[in-house]
Amino acid sequence: MTLKGAIAVTRFGLGARPGEIKLASQNPKKWLRDQIYSNKPPVFPVKGLRTTQGYIAEKKSLMDARKAESDDAVRLMVSKPFNKRYIASAQAELAARFNFGVETSLPFHERLTRFWSNHFSVSGRSRDILTAATHEREAVRPFISGKFKNLALNAILHPSMVFYLNNDKSIGPNSIVGLVVRHKQRGLNENLAREVMELHTVTPKSGYTQSDVTDFARALTGWTIAPKRHPEDLRGMIFFNSRRHEPGSRKIMGKTYLPTGKLQAVAIITDLCNHPETARNISYKLARHFTADVPPPSLVERLTKEFIKTDGDLKALYAVLIEAPELWNAPAQKIKTPNELLTSAARYMGSTKVFPTWPRDVYEGFGQTPFRAPTPEGWPDTSQAWIGPDALMKRIEWSNKVAQRNSKVDARAFLKSALGNRVSKETTQAINQAESNQQALVMMLMSPEFQRR
C-alpha cells in the first residue's frame, strides 16, 4: 500500500472499501483515469424507483383525488395511500443513492456525480424530494463526462429544475397565453434565469445586469412540463409551449438573440457556458471541492485554461485534477460533509452499521438530508460550514453510538484498511491507548484524517 494509493481512494474517491487502497496503490493515477475513461459508465440500480414522469403523475393523481372531495375528513382518507407510497418512495430513493455510494467500484466517478448534482442543486420539501432525486439520476449522472454545456442544458432544461425554480409558472406577458391571462396577474418569473446566471454559469463577477436576467427569463418562457392533455409518453416530460413564449429578440450581455422560439434559451445557455467567467466559476468550485476552502490559485488557473482550451470538456478537467501535484501532496484538509462521512464509514463497515436509528433522523440530525439542500446554491462546500462546535458534538455522539453498536469491528483493522499510509502518529497512538476496542473505534471515526479527506 502506498500513500498515493490512500490519497486516490480517500480524497478522489469516497473512502476505502476493504482492499481498495491496495488495489489503487498499484497505479493510483491509472486507477482514477480508468474510472473516467472507461467505456462502461456505472449503472445506477433503479429497481423499485420511478422516473420523474412517474412521480409527477403520482402527485397529479393525488391532487386530483383531493380536489374531487370537498369534505376534509374524506380528503384526508384519500391522501393516506398516496402518503404511504410517498414515504416508501422517499426511503427507497435515499437508500438507493446511499448504497450506490457505498458499493460502487468507481468512487471517483460517483464523487464527481455528487459534485455536479450539488452544482445544479434541485431540492424539495416533502413530496418534491422525489423529483429532486430523479434530477440527479436523469439529468446529471449520465452527462458528467461530456462537455459542460451539454451537462448544463440537460440539468437546466429538466422538468425537476423547471419546477423547482418556477419556470413552469413563467409566462411571456405578450405571448398568446400571456395576453389572455394578463388579468390574473401571472407573468414572468425570473427565478430560473437568475440562478442559472448567478450560480450555474457566469456568476455576478461577469457583470450582468438586471435587464440581462429579465431578458433571459423572457427567453426561457415556454419551457415547462408537458401537462395532462399530452399523450402519456410525453406527459411530465420537459416541453416547450410556444403559446407561453415571449415573442421577440433578446439582448443578453451585449449579444442579440433572434426570435428562434425554443432554441433562443438554448443558444443563450450555450453562450453562458462558453463565457470565461463560467470557466473560472467551475474551475474554482472543482478545485475547492478537492483541495481546501481556499483552493490554490495555480490549480484554479490551470483548470480555467483547460476549460477554455477544450471548450469545457469535463474529462479534460478531471485529467488536470488527477495530474495536479496540489492534490497528491497536501495532508487531509477538507472536512467531509455528513454524507461523505457516513458513506466513507459505510464503505468499510456496511450501510446498515452507520445508521444507529432511521437514516432520515441521522441525516436530519447532521443537517444534510440528501435532495433537501436549503437553497438553489446547494450544500456548502467548505469545511467551516460543517464543523462548528454543535456539528462536531453531533459527530462525536454519532461515532460513540456507532462504536457501541459495532464494538466487534476491529478498530486497528479498520484504521489500516480505511486510511492506509495516511494515518498520523497521533491517531495510531490514540487507538493504541484506548481503554477498549469500542473507544478505539470512536477515535478512529473521529480522527482528523477520517473526518477530513
Per CB under 8 A, does 34 bind other proteins?
Answer: no
Rounded distance, CA 40 to CA 22, Å? 23
Per CB under 8 A, does 292 bind other proteins?
Answer: no
Least distance in Å: CB of 256 to other proteins? 26
* The residue type at 227: P
Residues composing the chain: 453
Strand partners, 223: 240
Torsional class of 238: left (φ above 0), alpha (ψ -120 to 50), beta (otherwise): beta
What radius of gyration, in Å, describes the C-alpha atoms of the chain? 24
Question: What is the 3-state secondary structure of 29-62?
Answer: HHHHHHHHHCCCCCCCCCCCCCCHHHHHHHHHHH
Measured in whole angstroms, how far is the alpha carbon of residue 275 from the centre of its chain? 23
Number of amino acids touching other proteins (CB under 8 A) = 45
Per CB under 8 A, does 439 bind other proteins?
Answer: yes
- Footprint of other proteins on residues 76-95 (CB under 8 A)? 76
**Among the candidate windows 12-20, 58-66, 410-418, 422-430, which touches other proteins by CB under 8 A?**
422-430
**Among the candidate windows 93-101, 102-110, 157-165, 364-372, which touches other proteins by CB under 8 A?**
364-372
Q: Which of 316, 356, 377, 381 binds other proteins (CB under 8 A)?
A: 356
Strand partners, 250: 257
Q: Which of 18, 227, 276, 374 binds other proteins (CB under 8 A)?
A: 374
Least distance in Å: CB of 106 to other proteins? 31
**Cα angle, residue 400 at apex, residues 394 and 406 outer, rounded to 5°:** 135
SS3 content of the chain, % helix, strand, coil (to 5): 65, 5, 30
Q: Which of 367, 381, 407, 412 binds other proteins (CB under 8 A)?
A: 367
Nearer to other proteins, 37 or 358 (CB): 358
- Footprint of other proteins on residues 375-394 (CB under 8 A)? 383-385, 387-394
Phi/psi of residue 255, nearest 5 degrees: -105, 140
Helices 28-37 and 314-323 cross at an angle (nearest 10°) of 170
Nearer to other proteins, 40 or 425 (CB): 425
Nearer to other proteins, 329 or 433 (CB): 433
DSSP reduced 3-state for 237: coil
Per CB under 8 A, does 426 bind other proteins?
Answer: yes
* The residue type at 348: Y
Q: Which of 59, 169, 401, 416 binds other proteins (CB under 8 A)?
A: 401
Nearer to other proteins, 103 or 293 (CB): 293
Strand partners, 440: none
Nearer to other proteins, 335 or 346 (CB): 335
- Footprint of other proteins on residues 59-78 (CB under 8 A)? 71-74, 76
Per CB under 8 A, does 294 bind other proteins?
Answer: no
Phi/psi of residue 416, nearest 5 degrees: -65, -45
Q: Which residues bind other proteins (CB under 8 A)?
A: 71-74, 76, 125, 335, 356-357, 361-362, 364-367, 374, 383-385, 387-394, 396-398, 400-401, 424, 426-427, 430, 433-434, 439, 442-443, 446-448, 451
